[in-house]
Structure 1
Amino acid sequence: MSTQDSTIAIVGGGQAGGWAAQTLRSEGFGGRIVLIGNESHRPYERPPLSKSVLAGEAPPETTRLLKPEAFDALNVDWRPGVNAARIDRAAKQLHLSDGEPVRYDKLILCTGGRARQLGIPGANLPGVFTLRSIDDAAALGAALVPGKRLLVIGGGWIGLEVAATARGKGLDVTVVEAMERLCERTVPSEISGYLLRLHASHGVRVELGTGIEQLEQGADGVGLTATLTNG
């Protein structure tokens, strides 16, 4: 079978999936490419979501991996808003969440990761946000009103970027981190100390070595109250 007659399915419509499709074309693959993504957006870069996009300094369109005309030129069979629910390796067939089967000759998995949801009471209350997608950034950005208070759960890189962005927009920000120092899994203690001092100098309060026990609706019915595991 020539490459002109073969199908490569890419599961995951994010940055890795987009680059895989582009690389296949640039390396001369002329067959069918099926790109499956559970978001409605074409492949985009996520790092700006916690910084320039969240701050309102850059429109979401600037995160696109490829310009619209460049993406169209790849001539991929783009399947937005669906998941690959099951892989039948013997039959070389995907079963999508909308019920449609997709036959393939080669399969590339570019599924990436998901933001971990809080397993605590109150995690699904209005006013609790997760940042992973363009839609998440739009929802959170709309809630970043100067003078409001923001609690960031997690003192890793993304949490600290959100904290810095929110402080820049005039919010009162507190970061809660379960580990004993910031970014403990990725940097040495000297860098953690520098990050702590840096954020403190910009007015961010940081609570280390504690987590969130529960979230409750505030007495006014608008805000939220967080109870820390350290009391």
Structure 2
Amino acid sequence: MAFATYPSLKDRVVFITGGASGIGASFVTEFHAQGAKTAFVDLKPEDGEALMAKLGGKAWFKTCDVTDAAALQAAIGEAGQALGPVTVLINNVANDTRHKATELTPEDWRKNLAVNLDPVFIAATAVYPMMKAAGGGAIVNISSINALLGPAELAGYVAAKGAINSLSKTLAREWGVDRIRVNALSPGWVITPRQLELWLTPQAEADWMKLTALKDRIMPADIARTALFLASDDSKMITGQNIVVDGGRT
């Protein structure tokens, strides 16, 4: 297959949360391949440095705990100073560890939202002044089809993803006057090393395939390439939407 090149992404400054592994690493790789000035943060320095090495050091990386609002804001500011105003934001970071609702303490609930929801708002408001001054920008908030399906044992994660869908709509409405587009992107079951290690058994995959229209695995690059489109000028009139990439599951 041959995939699109987006001239409007060349030299555009992109900031990606949770970018060192999984889907996040695919975002970093794909935007870098488009010629974008790519910045990313992650909690694991070893993964971030490994990805930087693959990219020949031609990206910007900082270790950051995104649950620390001040640290995330500072990292975005530093990336802007190093590369120029951030005009594309990919809010990717998440933790989908399974949990029974009855076993979640109030502290556990707060921790779920602190990693799955809060950074979306913190990062978006941090890039807003840069995007407004630049005359516009694009924010892609990574949600999940689980916000639509509501599977068991993911109460905190699902609640956060549902909130991301709604937050994307309200920010799109509020910031449209500044030519800032805000969309949610909802993947289906994406085959990452984490999924393969923890949950993707042959039986689970067979059960999944029975429910989809397209009988191929969803790979990280499939999600990243959709984000390229949503970040590019080709989608200049798309905002406030939830774009689903799930092989026809929903």
Which has the larger Rg?
Answer: 1
TM-score by length of 1: 0.31
- Point out which structure has higher relative CO (alpha carbons under 8 A, 6+ apart): 2
| Between structures 1 and 2, the one with greater helix share | 2
| Between structures 1 and 2, the one with greater strand share | 1
